[in-house]
Amino acid sequence: MNWTAAEEKQLVETINRNIYQNSKRPIQWKAIKPMERHTIPGMQTRWAKYIQPNMNFNGYRYTPKKKTTKKKFETKRVKVSRSFFWGALKVTRYE
């Protein structure tokens, strides 16, 4: 089944309600009830692969990571070609 943004938000809220402090496994999946169109294994997969990498855990709950934009620097590629005079002349151009 496809996940909607509202369902993902509901999953995060459900997980935040079922977090146990000072535990090796802070999320207690046995205490979570399945959502309408999704099973518990489906919810676990969605959480582990797609949602959790974009979240920060502050010790009490999961919050979204702040998005930062990185500036991309343009690098010009140097193209050097030799002439037919056995390398006596070189032509350099930038692309």
Q: Which residue has the higher pLDDT, 4 or 76?
A: 4
Residue 94: per-residue pLDDT: 67
Q: Is 62 helix (H, G, I), strand (E, B) or coil?
A: strand
Tell me what pLDDT residue 46 has.
94
How would residue 45 be classed by pLDDT, with cut points 50, 70 and 90?
very high
Q: What is the C-alpha separation between 75 and 81, in angstroms, rounded?
A: 19
State the average pLDDT over residues 18-32. Answer: 82
pLDDT at position 72 is: 75
Mean pLDDT value of segment 61-74: 81
55 - beta bridge partners? 64
For the CA atoms of 66, 37, 48, 62, the dihedral, rounded to the nearest 10 degrees, stands at 40
**What is the CA angle 72-73-74, rounded to 5?**
120
Q: Do residues 41 and 27 make contact, with C-beta atoms less than 8 angstroms apart? A: no
- What is the average per-residue pLDDT within 16-29? 82
pLDDT at 30 over 80: yes
